[in-house]
Amino acid sequence: MNLGSVIVYITGLLWLNLTDAKIGYFWHITDFHYDPFHNSPELHRGCKHSRNNNEHSHRNGRHRDHTCDSSWRLIQSAAAFMAERHPDALEFVLWTGDILSSSMEHMPEEYKLEAVRNVTELLSRTFSSQFVFPALGHNDPPPSRRLVDMWMQWLPTDALNTFETGGYYTIDQSHTKLLIVVLNSVLWAGGAARTDGPHSHRGRAQWEWLEKVLLKARTTNKMVYLVGHAGPGVEERPNAGSSSASGGGELTPSANGRLLHIIKAFSDIIVGQFYGHRHADTFRLIYREGRPVSWAFLAPSVTPRGAGSISNPGLRLYKFDSNTGKVLDYTQYYLDVTNSRGEVHWAIEYNLTQYYGLREVSANSLEVLADRIRNYNDRGVFSKYLSALRVRHSTDISDCDTACVHVHYCAITRADYHEFRACVRNPASALASRAPHTSAAILLYAILILISS
C-alpha cells in the first residue's frame, strides 16, 4: 500500500469515528446552598443583602454582594435559564450536592427535607423529559426513605437500594457504553470518615462497592463517569481554611489516597470525573508513573457566597459522545450578581476548547494547559484561568506573584496531599529573597505548610 492509500485509509477511519459519534449534552449544577430564609434580617444578621438593601431588592431576591447564599429567586432564574438554553439532545443532569445553605444546619430535619423537596420539584419541572442524578453534599440531609421517595422519579430500583443504605449508586446507560457512578463523598470526609465515627461502616462498604462496580465495568467494556460532591485533591486558595492551607482537602488523607489509587488502577475505563464543593472553576490531573492518566473537572457553585475566595454563580453544559462518554467540550454560563443594571441576566462566560485553545479534552491536553498556566512569562493564560476560577468576579492578577502561580499549579497537578506539600515547598527557599515583593497571603501560606509538615 503506497503512502497516498495509507492517508486515504486513515482519513476514512477518522471520518467513520466522527460520523459514528452520537453528540449529546448534559448539565452539571452544584452547590445551590438554598437559603429559604434569605430575606429574613432576623435570621441572617450577617447577610448584608438582608440587612442593608432596600425593599425593592428584598422583593426581587437580588444579591448585591457575595455574603448571602442563594435566594429562591436566584435558583428559579437558574432553572428558567437552563430550560430555555438546553438543546434537544440533552441526556441528563448531574446535580452534585450542597443543596442547602449552611444556615440550615441546626434546623429540624423536616425543614431541611421540605427545602430539598422544593428544589427537587423545580428541577423536575425544568427537566421534565430528562433524568437528574443527585449526589449528596455535607450540608444535605443523610440518605433516608424520604429522600428515596423524593428522587425515585429519576433513579432505577437498584440505584434506590444502594442510595437508601449509603447514598451512592450507579446509572447504567444500557443503550450506550457509559456507566455513571455517583459517590457519597460525605462518608469519606472529616469526622464522618473516622474509624470510630457513625458512618465508618458505610464508608468501608462504599469502598468495596466501588471496586466491584469498576471491576464489572471493565469486564463488560463500560466507560465510567465518577460523580460526587467533593473529589480528590486540595484547595488552591490560601484563605480557604487551615486544613487546605496545610495541604489538605475535603476528604481525609487516607480516603483521598485510596480514591487516587482506585482512579489510577481503573484509569483505562474512567473517562470523566465531575465534582463541586469548592465554589470554583478549576480542574485536577491524576498521574501514574509520571504520566497524566485521568482528569477531574470542578464546576463552580450556583451560590454567590464564597468558600475562600468569592465568585459569581455558574452553570455548566457539557457536550459529549453519548455512545462512549468522551467529553468533547463544555460551555460555562455565569451571572454577574453585582451588575449595575440590577438585572438577573445569565450569559455565556466561555467555551472550554476555544477559551484555552485546546484541540481535545484529555489528560494530556490538560497537562499542556497546566504548564501554560504555570508559565510566569506568559501571564495571559493564567489571567484567563484566574478569571474563570472566580467566575469573572475578578480578573486582577497583580496580587498573584510567581509563588502564588506555583501554588495553583501544584493544586492542579498534585492531587495527593503529601505530593502537594512537597510541590509547594520547592520554591520556598526563593520566597525569602523575594519577601519585599511577595504578597503576605502567599508568605502565610508557605509558613502554614512548613509548620504542618
Q: Which CATH number applies to 20-452?
A: 3.60.21.10
Contact call for residues 44 and 103 (beta carbons, < 8 A)? yes
Distance CA 292, CA 363 (A): 6
Query: How confident is the model at residue 385, as a pLDDT?
Result: 94
Range with the poorest average pLDDT among 25-34, 243-252, 359-368: 243-252
Quickly count: other Cβ atoms within 10 Å of residue 258's Cβ: 17
What is the model's pLDDT at position 57?
42
191 or 439: which leads in pLDDT: 191
**Rounded to 5 degrees, what angle do the CA atoms 49, 276, 383 make?**
80
Average pLDDT over residues 153-169: 96
Report whether pLDDT(410) > 60: yes
The CA–CA distances, whole Å, from 453 to 84, 245, 411, 417, 429 equal 50, 11, 17, 11, 16
d(CA 314, CA 346): 9
The pLDDT confidence band at residue 103, using thresholds 50, 70 and 90, is confident
Q: Please state, rounded to an integer, the average pLDDT across all residues of the chain.
A: 83
pLDDT confidence band for 191 (50 / 70 / 90) = low
pLDDT one-digit tens code per residue, 205-232: 999 999 999 999 999 999 999 999 999 9
C-alpha grid cell for residue 273?
Answer: 470525573
Q: Domain-by-domain residue ranges, the chain?
A: 20-452
CB 357, CB 211: distance < 8 Å: no
Rg of the chain over all Cα atoms, to the nearest angstrom: 22
Kindly list the strands in the beta sheet with 327-335, ordered across the sheet, starting from the edge strand earlier in the chain: 131-134, 90-95, 23-29, 314-321, 327-335, 346-351
CA dihedral 241→243→244→246, nearest 10 degrees, is: 120
pLDDT 10s digits, 352-382: 999 999 999 999 999 999 999 998 778 889 9
Which pLDDT value is given to residue 426? Answer: 76
- pLDDT recorded at residue 202: 85
pLDDT in tens, 255-304: 999 999 999 999 999 999 999 999 899 999 999 999 999 999 999 999 98
pTM to 2 decimal places: 0.85
Mean pLDDT score, 385-408: 83
- DSSP 3-state helix, strand, coil percentages of the chain (rounded to 5)? 45, 20, 40
